[in-house]
Structure 1
Amino acid sequence: MPKALKASRARQASAAQARKVLQGHKENIQPTVQSGSGQSSSSGWVTRSQSGASESPEKVQKETLSLYKEQARVLLKENSHLRSERSGLLRKLQDAEADHLESAAHVKDLKDKNADLRQRATHAEDLKDENVDLWQWLHVLERRIQRLQRDNVKARIATRKKVAEVSSSEKDQNDSGYALPGREDALLATSQAYQAVGSLQLDLANLHEQAMNTIYTVVSEASARALDAEKALTDERNTSSFAVALYQEELCRVQYQVSAAISEAQITADNARSEAQDCIENFKCGLAASKAQGGYLTEALSASKATVYAFRKRCKRHPDVMARVVSKAVKKYVQESRIVRLKFKGVYTLAARMAARKLINFNVASEHIRDVFNTVAELLGVSIPPEDKMSRQTVRRAVLEGGVAAKLQVVFDIMQSEGFMISGDGTSHRHINYESNFIALSTPVYTTSSSSGPTGKAHRLRTLGVHSATNRKADTQVDGWKDLFSEFQEFYDCSPLSRRHQTIEMAEIARKLKGYFSNHAAYQKKTSRGMQDWKWDESLCDLGEDALLLKDVTKLVQILADANAAKIATVGGMEKWNLLSWDEQTVYKWLGEEVYAALSEEEKHKLDLYIWGGCCMHKDLNSFIGGNTRMTAWWLDNGVTPPVLLANKDNAAVLAGRSTTSDALTDTEKCALDSLTCGGVKTMDIGGAVFKNSDQKKGQGDSYAYRFGRRYPDTSNTRYHSHGDSACVTWAWLDDHIDFVLRMKECKANNTFTNMEKNLYNALQDPATLTEMACMVLYTQTVSEPYLKIVRGPGSEGLNQLDLGPFHEEVKTHIKMLIEDPDLVLAEDARPELATLDVADWAYPEAVHTIQQRASEMPYLRPVFVAFLSGALETWNRFTSEFKSGEIDKATEEDRALAWMPATNDHNEGALGSLPALPPKQAQCRAAFLQFTSDTFMDKMLVHEDFDFIRREACKLESRGLEKQHRQAQVDHEHMLEDPRRRKEAEKRRKLAEKAEKLAGILEVHRQLDGNQDMPKKSHLKNKAEKVAVLKHVVRHYLAKYPKSDGKWLEDMGIGIETDENSDADMYGTDGSDNEDEGDE
């Protein structure tokens, strides 16, 4: 447990104990107030011990009250000081919390870490509440002291009056006692005494009034009677002595009554005096009990003072304590905020995985990802724990997860779209075939600014990966597409995303397939037809399945039986029926055909919609090839001297010193001459090899760049219009290139050309070669360059191939215009806006102007250029046949939007051209995640269970060993191809062995019959002379044995034989005269 947390809990415990003590003190000093007869009384309480009990109560109470008032003022002053300190602490706390709120983007991860600081803030609030309670309690205490003071004054006045009245009363009072068992009984007795004194006072006043009233009445009556008696006595005295006696008797009676009234009043006074005395005694007992209780209160007050003192010291230390606590909390927070955690509960977070994938897309090696993380952390002033550093294997797994998410996204996009198009291309790399697969569709657009879900739709190209293939056949590619769609469908149906939305079927994928896009190769067109057949079969099966589901069970059984019987009869019986595949036997297609026949024309058109499109880049490439073919044939067709021959090193050695007339050439020289090439295209190949060789150790790459300030176009690789660009560059600075080639020779020690350099030098000075190069330049500047700028330049990303039919008609019209009027380009004042397809300036104005100025040096430039344009136009007509009177021409605007396809096949070409050294699955996942923008899709559409599913699938994908399976499939395919060949070769060898064995036996019999068994073996003959001698001996032996032949068969073969042995030296002499015979031989 942290020290700060322990200190906080200790302070909370001490505060609770202080509150408990204060509450006890409140209960101990709580006065008892009772109302009665309009008067209130309160028990007195003192602050002195029992030793001070001899002092008068009034003085003790007065001193106690003054002391309490002084203490109350001190406490109020201290409380005010504490409140000011508390306000300062609160301000500091608020500043600390403000600093905490301003600490950057880690507040979410650091909430748990800030709990300790919040507990201390809560403790400060508790102290605040305690201070407020203490202040309120002091105010209550002061008010009670004032009320007690007033009550005591009233009690003293009432007591003095009662005592005076009781002392003056002469009546006896009855005894009555009061028990004081405790503090509460004393307080109750005191209260009752005060009540009794009050009631006695009232009774005494009433008795006194009654007695005075009685005495007054008796005296008044006596006086009245005395007056009456005196008057009567006077009257009687005058009349009779009897009246005197009556008067005396009445006087006695009156005196008796007065005495009785006086006695009764005296008795009443004595009783009141006795009761007053009892009340005084009870009051004294209560006062003694109050004094005893005052001792306890004094002790409680001392404890309260100690507690207040402790609180005062604690509050005095509180700013420093809080400063230390806040400083520790801030320091701890800063230390923890400088640690970036890549893991949560042992698993790398989504943000860490996403960052790794993005760095991989930035071409950061997987083994350097952790170094990049550490470098960025150091730059930001934070650190990454060693246990959170990402390994190479984790990075690879994160890349696979990105590929899995991209696969999930592409199926989800197919479900959201109404139609899509697929495209493919193939190549071979290190004797392994690879196929690139893409899909084009209208996809939802996910942006980081939107709260959730897509914000719209846009046409996008999505890669489905580059896969190895056993061969380049169309059937193999169709099977690959089917397997790919089946894999995607099964994968998506197992995902949690499909459970939240809906599943997808193969029939739905086939129904949404609207076209195929590729280059113009024959196998690619066959692949397109195969995919169209698959779409048709799946659509019919889907229609038939839906029709079966809508029928009654009994009718369904009858329909199935009738359909199977009809199909069995159609194929020619049960035996042939059993030979059919399941797809051919199924009744779905039969029912689907019936349902299809019942559809409307609009529904049929929507279901049948399938369009093939060809790459525009290949159209231009083939048109250039077609123009070059027609141009090279023009020289021979018109009997004009063609461009200079450009022989390679071997053929140049064979043809050295020979004429080009075929009659004087040997077969070897004829073969060498036939393999020679010439013309502008070959010259540009040589120029690329010399000025920019693919091997950096060869050629003049850097020297050329330093001289001309640019690199020569790369003709050694397969690149669009690279030969046209190289011709433009060469013609733009033709003299400089010739001078550069001469300087290459002069810089050598032997001052000679290599064969390639010599060919280039001769070609650059040959008028016919320069004419072909000029035609290449002019066609590139007027047609190729503007055409490529339109179909693949900036702003062509959303261009639809199916909308380019009118544009291609404009291209052909423009070429026809150039054929009719070549001066639009060849004239020195030719305007580029009239000659170029895009009505813009020349891309290489220097090259065009140089050709226009030197056109007189090339007499055949005009007809050769027209021939080039004619060949290109013919090729354009052949490669744009899908637009006119085809499916594209019949398609509506809505159909073309559904079957949207890009203008070029660059996406497949680029995927195959950038095939890296990484495993294809890793490269596929990287490309898919980068191209799909799967990070925004994952943020907007996926939840926690989807990420778990993606991690599991990536783990399965990695452990499945797909690359090993692909390699094994390739090996198995090669073995399958090799087995028939091996069997055929083994059978051939067996037949040859049997034939050789048979011939060997025949030859042995021949030798025995011939009698020439002493002829040496060929291996024993060391040189040609010995072999010739043996051969002549054999011939003479044969002529001697068969003289009738006369050697005519040898003469027919052109071999002359002299029978004279002496003529051997003349026939095979060593003086060089046998060269002609040897050549004939």
Structure 2
Amino acid sequence: MERKKLGTDLSRIQRHSDTKINGLEAKLTKLTETISTQKEEIKALRTEKKALDQKQTRAKESLQSTRKELRSAVVWEATKNGTYTREARELFRCLLQAGCSGARVADAIKACGKTFGVVIKRLPSSRTVFRARDEGGQYGIMQIGREITMCEGFGESSDGTTNRKVNLESRHLHYLAPTYLPGVDDDDKSTWKPQSRFGVVETALNHQAETQFQGTKAFAENVAATYSNSPLARRDGRTMEINDYPRKIEFLGSDHANDAKLKVEKVGDWREDVITSDIGEEVLQLVESGEFVGSFSTLREEDINLAYQQATEEIRPQAGEVQVDKTTARKLVAKVIGQAKLDSMTEAERHLLLGVTFAGCGAHKDMNAFKYGVVKMMAGWAARGQPGPVLLANKANTTTIQLSDDTNTTAAKAAIDSSSRGGVKLTSLAGALFNHSDDKKGYQDKHVNFMGTRKRDLYGIQHGGHFPDTSNTRFQSHSYAAAELVSFIHDYVDLLETTRDSKDSPGFNHMESNIHKGLLDVGTVAEMAAMGLLGDSVSWRFLAIIRGNGKVRNALDPDIAELYRRLPAFCDAIAENPGILLEGEDSPGFDWSKITLDGRPWIDRHLVATIRTLARELPDLLDCISDIFSGAAQGWRVFTSEFTPGGPFDLLTPKQRKRLYIPATNDENEGGLGSIRVWQRYHPNATAFGFSNQKRYERNNTSNFIKKLCTQEDDIYVMRLVRKINSSGENIRFREALVEEMNRKAGEKRKKDEEAAMKRQLELERLTSVGLAMDRDEINNMTVKQLDDQLKIHRKILMDEVLRRVLQKDLPTKVFKLSAVLAAVSRNQP
């Protein structure tokens, strides 16, 4: 029993122990897992702590670096090793471009630094600023040289003017060129765009064709030398020689002056001379290499031998002459051979190879056509046997006419003949009064305030504006002035009369009186109405088309050629039916394409409405319209020769037409010459060289060219080049040459005057010895030479007023001369 109980107790104790042991084991396992987890956590915490320690270390280092950079950032280092950096020089040029004076660039940089909390350690002098400007311009010359070597062909446009009695010549180049945009392959010609590159505005001794031509050659030489000597050219593996200019030039653009056309001939001769030598040199190389085939097969071997013989004869020294060097001899041989090759070509082949196309300015064409129209309109009065517009004589002539009892007197006739009249005369006077080129003269703001108020109150026109600038040379300023005066004719009369009555001593001055008289004259108003209609129908629209909404069009565009070709017929059609311009839109068969050049409604509807209202008071209006459009048609035919079918533009190959960009106007050069005149008002001591450098950098995308292609090596080259140019004394030499030219002209003038005076004296002595003939029978038996002598005696010795105003061409035959002598005898009979 006891044993059984003991066994039960042992079993219970065993079970209790197992349970307790299992519990302890489970607890131990749990504690082991907890310890393991905590170890992992401790490890992770240690890793995190280490990362935080490293982050803290880096943050401290970054903080120190940032503080160091901040300390350096508040100080602008404009120089490196004593030389202003490229970035600094770029900043100087940008400030000049923004209009800052060179002497104030340092002040501007200092003020900006103070505003931004930046310390400026070194500021540039005005001399440094201007050197940076000139360096930018010389980079532009280098850019032009590189682009000429890359392009297949280009054109040059030019124009000239005078400023302060010194001739100025402007030159632009036109070709396909890279854009220098980031990420664009500039060697890929498919990315190139038509560009107009500012070349130069430079002083010249005169505006003769030879001087212009020599200016082009000097510019070409400068471009070739600047690029070829640069590190950029060495990296490109290219050079430019001066003859590359005539090799690639394919057109010249300018106005229609004779000197411009003569320059085209000179450039054409230069191009022919260079290409002739090129052809000869190529033939020589083929012959010397044993190859004489292909395109030169038209030249026979005996032709080559003959060319050698001719060239040898040319270079063989005569007695006492120096032997010609081998290089010169080879060039002469090449030229003779090249000429032989050219002589074997057809005229079309020669033109294709050598031709230089002339491209006239479209704006000048329109100006000249408008002038042709005005001249014919003014001559139309006499042709119709009508008196024409009222005389608008100047003050002196008016006094002479008024003091003459009879307008048939010699003095009165001379005053009338030398006075002007008509629409253009009135618009000129109105421009001088209402918007004088000198802003201290004329009505100026009085006109703007009075007419601005009238237009707003009576017509709902919010923009009054200034009167068209006829005091300066502006395209179509006279047609705009005519339109303005006709549109608001009664208001301008009121302006003059109100001004007259508001004076302390009421009354018109002479100019006001002339304008008032012209505004009330039906003939003058009729001419101005015709001028305004020609402007709205043709000229204003034509200029808008060829200028392409702010960007000058390519004259080779097909629609431009078509426009030029239909202009004469368009003007002729209106000349034949002038009343079509006064018809309303509700008229049967009304068609805008027959009335306006672009087929669109009137630009100035108020003008046309006013003319329709005034038409019944202007009996000669239709005749004036017909004459001015007929004359304009004649002008368009004269000045559009390059656009005639089969003309110079039609002879260009498709390849040339695709690559050439011929500006339809000469606005770039007109603008360049206008810009330098304005620029010199604010920079009176500046030179054309400085102006050209600044504008070349601004207009030619030179900044991007420098950033993309140029290195520090190029910077050093350009810096040295500018210093060399500035120390060359070029400006001094030009001033000396200008004075020498003035003295030469003065000397020639004095010499001619002395020779003329001597000739006059000898002629008077001879005429005195001939003697005055008063016997009519004797005069009737005189020869033509004797009659001429008698006419000279009456004109030069007796000072006959009538004969002094008669030209030699007015007395073409003996009958006329005899009649004139007999009439003079009657007038001078004692």
Q: So what's the TM-score if we normalise by structure 1? A: 0.59
Residue type at the aligned position of 1:823: G
Q: Pick from 174, 188, 196: which aligns with 1:461?
A: 196
Note the 1:58-207 alignment, pairs <5 A.
89-95=53-59
Check whether the contact 2:254–2:666 (CA below 8 A) recurs between aligned residues. Answer: yes
Check conservation: 1:422, 1:515, Cα contact below 8 A.
yes
Over 3 Å counting, the alpha-carbon distance change for 1:81 and 1:849 in structure 2 is closer
| Contact 2:312/2:333, CA 8 A, preserved across alignment | no
Q: 1:788 aligns with which of 518, 538, 543?
A: 543
Shift of 1:862: 0.8
Distance 1:695 1:796, change over 3 A: closer
Q: Which residue of 1 aligns with 2:92?
A: 356
Q: Which residue of 2 aligns with 1:761?
A: 516
Aligned residue number for residue 674 of structure 2: 913
Q: Residue 950 of structure 1 corresponds to which residue in structure 2?
A: 718
Aligned to 1:63: none
Gaps in structure 1 of 5+ consecutive residues: 1-77, 101-325, 996-1051, 1055-1078
* Change over 3 Å in CA distance of 1:576–1:361 after alignment to 2: farther
Q: Which gives a bigger RCO, structure 1 or 2 (Cα 8 Å, sep 6+)? A: 2
* Alpha-carbon displacement from aligned partner over 1:106-151 (angstroms, at most 9, x marks no partner): xxxxxxxxxxxxxxxxxxxxxxxxxxxxxxxxxxxxxxxxxxxxxx
Distance in 2 of aligned mates of 1:516 and 1:583: 33
Q: Supply the distance in 1 between the matched residues of 2:346 and 2:148 (Cα, whole angstroms).
A: 26
Shifted more, 513-522 versus 84-93: the winner is 84-93
Q: How does 1:657-736 map to 2 (within 5 A)?
A: 658=404, 661-662=407-408, 665=409, 667-707=410-450, 708=452, 709-736=464-491
Q: Spell out the pairing of 1:255-654 with structure 2 (5 A cutoff).
A: 326=63, 330-385=66-121, 388-448=122-182, 450=184, 456-501=191-236, 502-552=238-288, 563=307, 565-566=309-310, 586-596=332-342, 604=350, 606-654=352-400
SS at match of 2:251: strand
Note the alpha carbon deviations across 1:666-714, whole angstroms, 9 max, x for none: x332221111101011101111111111122211110111122311111
Residues 981 and 763 of structure 1, relative CA distance in 2, 3 Å threshold: closer
**C-alpha contact 2:268 2:355 (8 A) present in aligned 1:** no
Encode CA deviations 1:302-338: one digit per residue, 9 max, x unaligned: xxxxxxxxxxxxxxxxxxxxxxxx5x66544322221
User: 2:311 touches 2:332 (CA, 8 Å); kept in 1?
Assistant: no
Determine the C-alpha separation between the residues in 1 that align with 2:479 and 2:132: 44
- Measured in 2, the distance between the counterparts of 1:444 and 1:833 equals 42
> Which of 748-757 and 805-814 deviates more?
805-814
The residue identity in structure 2 corresponding to 1:566 is Q
Deviation at 1:732, TM superposition (A): 1.8
Residue 841 (str. 1) matches residue 601 (str. 2): yes
Conserved 8 A contact 1:507-1:542: no
Q: How many residues align?
A: 691
Decide which of 612, 616, 620 is 1:852's aligned counterpart. Answer: 612
Deviates more, 1:559-568 or 1:686-695: 559-568
Q: Identify the match of residue 820 of structure 1 among 565, 576, 581.
A: 576
Contact 1:407 1:488 in 2 (8 A): yes
**Contact between 1:631 and 1:864, CA under 8 Å: does it hold in 2?**
yes
For the pair shown, the structure with the greater C-alpha radius of gyration is 1
| TM-score normalised over the length of structure 2 | 0.76
Distance 1:638 1:987 in 2: 46
Tell me which residue corresponds to 2:39: none
Deviation at 1:409, TM superposition (A): 0.5
Q: Describe the shift of the 1:451–1:372 C-alpha distance in structure 2 as closer, same or farther (beyond 3 A).
A: farther
Farther-moved stretch of structure 1 (462-471 vs 831-840): 831-840
- 1:598-639 deviations in whole A, cap 9, x for unaligned? 679997554224211111001100011000000001111111
> Residue deviations 1:888-925, cap 9 Å, x none?
12223322234431000111111112223221110000
1:936 corresponds to which residue? Answer: 704
Aligned AA (2:108): V
The question of whether the paired residues in 2 share the 8 Å contact of 1:421 and 1:441 is answered with yes
How far apart in 2 are the matches of 1:564 and 1:415?
32
**Percent identity at matched positions?**
29
CA distance in 1, matches of 2:444, 2:136: 40
Relative distance call for 1:833 and 1:558 in structure 2 (3 A) is: closer
SS at match of 1:698: coil
Cα pair 1:507 1:539 within 8 Å, conserved: no
Q: Label 1:651 to 1:795 Cα distance change in 2 as closer, same or farther (>3 A).
A: closer
Partner residue of 1:137? none
State the AA in 2 paired with 1:750: S
> 2: CA distance between counterparts of 1:852 and 1:572?
81
Secondary structure of 2:175's partner?
A: strand
Q: Deviations over 1:747-778 (max 9, x none)?
A: 10111000100111111111001000100111
How many angstroms apart in 2 are the aligned matches of 1:699 and 1:1053?
A: 45
Label 1:984 to 1:524 Cα distance change in 2 as closer, same or farther (>3 A). closer
Separation in structure 2 between the aligned mates of residue 919 and residue 719 of structure 1, nearest angstrom: 25
The aligned runs of 1:973-992 (5 Å cut-off) are: 973-981=741-749
1:812–1:873 Cα contact (<8 Å) kept: yes
Q: Displacement of 1:651 after TM fit? A: 1.3
Question: Residue by residue, what CA displacement relative to the aligned partner does 1:50-84 show, whole Å, maximum 9, x if unpaired?
Answer: xxxxxxxxxxxxxxxxxxxxxxxxxxxx9999998
Superposed CA RMSD in Å reads 3.8
Q: Is the aligned partner of 1:880 residue 2:640?
A: yes
Distance (whole Å) between structure 2 residues aligned to residue 438 and residue 985 of structure 1: 40
- Report the structure, 1 or 2, having the larger helix content: 1
Tell me the SS of whatever aligns to 2:727: helix
The answer to whether the 8 Å contact 1:771/1:858 transfers is yes
Distance 1:565 1:83, change over 3 A: closer
2:456 equivalent in structure 1: none
Pick one of 616, 623, 627 that aligns with 1:863: 623
How far apart are 1:984 and its partner, in Å?
Answer: 6.2
> 1:453, 1:941 within 8 Å by CA — same for their partners in 2?
no
**Are 1:746 and 2:481 an aligned pair?**
no
Partner Cα separation in structure 2 for residue 575 and residue 585 of structure 1: 22
Asked if structure 2 preserves the Cα contact closer than 8 Å seen for 1:425 and 1:909, the reply is: yes
Rounded Cα–Cα distance in structure 1 between residues aligned with 2:348 and 2:635: 35
